[in-house]
């Protein structure tokens, strides 16, 4: 491996290592090439590293993303809890972000004490390797990024999203890896050769305990129309990691995550938490008061997705550019699938 070229960030002694005191955990490697992703001395993927692409990806300002997982030799994921997979100690997942060239690669790893640790590596301009970023993040000049600046997340940012759900692994789930992929999902990559999904994981012996019914009829969001299916999937991929029924924000009673186990109940639960609910967030001017509204003023849901106000925008981190395609999908869903029902119920209640 070549020496890493000059970086535009300063590395500090602090790392993302987050293991409990006393636990026998190796320090986080200083270079991506030392994490096990590559064949030593190259940037070719190592043996046992499996690529994958979730069907409902997170919008990340239009970056190109690639993802991989590696399990310890002979180990498997326990999928008996369909929506809260138990990953073996030693599991590693990587996610690469780039505009044209790779800019950063994030790593999450399950360590010996069972906890998860998070790290991110910033690529050199020549693409030879990537160095561990400071624990509080960094800003890297990238000409193709919005405003020419690319924000590398700090450890707190990683935890804010990844520890808001039942399991910190967000894009490697039964629903996200279903072979019954949603053709209308915004920004979804076409599966590449070698990408794993539910069936191939079971065939490899990497996934055990998955109810056999989910192989015969892979998970699929239950919705009355293709638009509704894609909209619910979009909310799942972009909002469900925080707004779910299992994590820290249950008190908000806003459930945008979909379950692979009990899909009908899951989509119904989302609708119940969106319709007929006043929003706690009230924009200035009072133009919207409902999470989803049929009448004048619109819905707080879409208003927060498309605002340029950084103090009101959702998601609150990791996004600086409005996802116009995602917003259009949600607005189409509200207009075509939800508004007729909402309008009728409003007229009835007068």
The DSSP output letter for 337 is: I
Nearer CB in complex with other proteins: 267/273: 273
Alpha carbons 75 and 87: distance in angstroms, whole number? 9
Residues in Cβ contact with 190 at an 8 Å cutoff, skipping those fewer than 6 apart: 53
Query: Closer CB to other proteins, residue 194 or residue 310?
Result: 310
* Max Cα–Cα distance, the chain, nearest Å: 72
Q: Which residue reads 């989302």 in tokens? A: 270
Name which of 184, 285, 171, 288 is nearest 237 in CA terms.
171
| Contact of 40 with 21, CB cutoff 8 Å | no
Least distance from C-beta 237 to other proteins, angstroms?
16
Stretch near other proteins under the rule CB under 8 A, chosen from 66-74, 216-224, 245-253, 336-344: 245-253
> Considering beta carbons, is residue 46 or 322 the nearer one to other proteins?
322
Instruction: Please report whether residue 246 would count as binding other proteins according to CB under 8 A.
Output: no
The CB-of-300 to other proteins minimum distance in angstroms stands at: 11
Supply the minimum distance, in Å, between the C-beta of residue 252 and other proteins. 7
344 binds other proteins (CB under 8 A): no
Angle at 159 between CA 132 and CA 278, to 5 degrees: 145
Q: For other proteins, which residue of 316, 328, 343, 344 counts as binding (CB under 8 A)? A: 316
Closest Cα to residue 230, out of 157, 326, 99?
Answer: 326
Least distance from C-beta 323 to other proteins, angstroms? 10
347 makes contact with other proteins (CB under 8 A): no
Q: Is 321 in the site for other proteins (CB under 8 A)?
A: yes
**Does 312 sit near other proteins (CB under 8 A)?**
yes
Which residues, 6+ apart, have CB-to-CB distance to 276 below 8 Å?
Answer: 290, 345
By CB under 8 A, the count of residues binding other proteins is 33
Among 166, 215, 275, 322, binds other proteins (CB under 8 A): 322
Helix (H, G, I), strand (E, B) or coil at 128: coil
Separation CA 68–CA 195 (nearest Å): 9
Site residues for other proteins, 267-296, by CB under 8 A, read: 278, 280-284
Please report, as residue ranges, which positions from 112 to 171 form the binding site for other proteins (by CB under 8 A): 144-147, 156, 159-161, 164
State how far the Cα of 66 lies from the Cα of 53, in Å rounded to an integer.
7
Give yes or no for residue 62 binding other proteins (CB under 8 A).
yes
By CB under 8 A, name the one of 308, 347, 349, 350 that touches other proteins.
308
Nearer to other proteins, 249 or 275 (CB): 249
Report the alpha-carbon distance of residue 311 to residue 115 in Å, rounded.
31
Taking the complex as a whole, the smallest distance from the CB of residue 29 to other proteins amounts, in Å, to 26
Residues 297, 300, 302, 303: is their CA dihedral positive or negative? positive
Interface with other proteins, residue 73, by CB under 8 A: no
Number of Cβ within a 10 Å radius of residue 284: 7
Residue 2 found at the interface with other proteins (CB under 8 A): no
Q: Quick check: 69 and 47 in contact, CB under 8 A? A: no
Q: Which is nearer to other proteins, 4 or 18 (CB)?
A: 18
Using CB under 8 A as the binding rule, whether residue 310 contacts other proteins is answered as yes
- Enter the tokens of residue 80: 């008996």
* Contact track, other proteins, 169-208, x by CB under 8 A: ----------------------------------------
The closest of 284, 299, 297 to 330, measured between CA atoms, is: 299
Residues that bind other proteins (CB under 8 A): 61-62, 144-147, 156, 159-161, 164, 242, 248-249, 251-253, 278, 280-284, 308-312, 316-317, 320-322
């Amino acid at each position: 491996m070549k020496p890493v070229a000059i970086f535009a960030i300063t590395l500090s002694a602090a790392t993302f290592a987050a293991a409990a005191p006393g636990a026998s955990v190796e320090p986080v490697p200083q270079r991506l090439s030392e994490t096990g992703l590559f064949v030593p001395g190259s940037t070719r993927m190592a043996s046992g590293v499996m690529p994958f692409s979730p069907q409902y990806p997170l919008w990340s300002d239009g970056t190109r993303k690639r993802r991989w997982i590696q399990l310890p030799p002979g180990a498997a994921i326990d999928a008996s809890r369909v929506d809260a997979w138990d990953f073996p100690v030693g599991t590693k997942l990587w996610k690469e972000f780039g505009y044209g060239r790779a800019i950063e690669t994030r790593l999450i790893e399950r360590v010996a004490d069972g906890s998860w640790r998070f790290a991110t590596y910033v690529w050199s301009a020549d693409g030879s390797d990537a160095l561990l970023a400071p624990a509080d993040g960094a800003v890297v000049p990238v000409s193709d990024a919005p405003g020419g600046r690319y924000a590398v997340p700090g450890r707190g940012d990683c935890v804010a999203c990844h520890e808001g759900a039942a399991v910190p692994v967000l894009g490697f789930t039964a629903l996200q890896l279903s072979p019954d992929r949603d053709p209308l999902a915004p920004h979804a990559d076409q599966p590449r050769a070698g990408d794993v999904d539910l069936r191939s994981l079971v065939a490899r012996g990497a996934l055990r305990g998955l109810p056999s019914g989910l192989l015969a009829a892979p998970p699929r969001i239950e919705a009355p129309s293709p638009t509704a299916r894609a909209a619910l999937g979009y909310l799942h991929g972009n909002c469900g990691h925080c707004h779910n029924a299992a994590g820290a924000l249950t008190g908000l009673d806003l459930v945008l995550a979909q379950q692979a186990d009990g899909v009908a109940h899951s989509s119904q639960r989302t609708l119940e938490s969106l319709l007929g609910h006043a929003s706690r967030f009230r924009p200035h001017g009072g133009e919207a008061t409902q999470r989803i509204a049929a009448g004048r003023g619109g819905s707080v849901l879409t208003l927060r997705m498309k605002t340029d106000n950084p103090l009101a925008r959702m998601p609150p981190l990791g996004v600086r550019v409005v996802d116009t395609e995602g917003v259009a999908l949600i607005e189409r869903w509200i207009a075509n699938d939800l508004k007729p029902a909402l309008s009728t119920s409003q007229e009835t209640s007068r």
